[in-house]
Amino acid sequence: MRLLPAVALLAVAGLAQQPDLAASKAAFNKVCGVCHTPESALATRRTKAQWEESIDKMVQLGAKATDDEFAAILDYLVSQYGRDAAADAAPAGGRGGLGGGRFRSSSN
Ligand code: HEC
């Protein structure tokens, strides 16, 4: 299982509706701040596919939220902490870990 189909589908719906950014951020802080600080999840900008992968991985690790919340979180992450898929040939490494070193925020 690579992607949550529900997340992908709802993300598309979410983009059409543009859910409130503040509400999406609140959902992110609530859901993603349970096991690590929200900030640690934001250390690396990711493409939409990479965020989907990360969220899917967090679900496997035990992240709990409604489909709506996951969709809002994905939307928030992609819009605020996304990166251009075309500029990113490398696969999502994912090994950096919490709060970890590989900051790429300067470009973009
Ligand atoms: C049930 C606990 C838990 C929750 C909830 C959780 N995470 Fe994580 N997360 C972890 C653990 C454990 C790691 C470090 C393990 C690893 O990197 O494989 C991690 C690492 C990460 C990383 C860096 C490593 C990677 O795979 O890229 C990101 C980004 C991340 N989480 C994002 C999120 C987001 C976004 C959410 C909310 C949807 C979230 N996390 C919710 C447990 C959780």
Residues 86-102 have pLDDT tens digits of 665 555 555 544 544 45
pLDDT band, very low/low/confident/very high, at 11 (cuts 50, 70, 90): low
- List own/partner pairs for 96-101 with CB under 8 A and 24 or more apart: 96/43, 96/44, 98/36, 98/40, 99/36, 99/37, 99/39, 99/40, 99/43, 100/40, 100/43
Pocket perturbation via mutation, ligand 1, pick of 7, 32, 58 by most ligand atoms within 8 A of CB: 58
Q: Are 56 and 1 in contact (CB under 8 A)?
A: yes
Q: How far is the CA of 30 from the centre of ligand 1 (A)?
A: 13
Q: Which pLDDT belongs to residue 20? A: 84
> Quick one: pLDDT band at residue 52, thresholds 50, 70, 90?
very high
Instruction: Determine which residue's CA is closest to atom 8 belonging to ligand 1.
Output: 58
Of 6 and 50, the structure prediction assigns the larger pLDDT to: 50
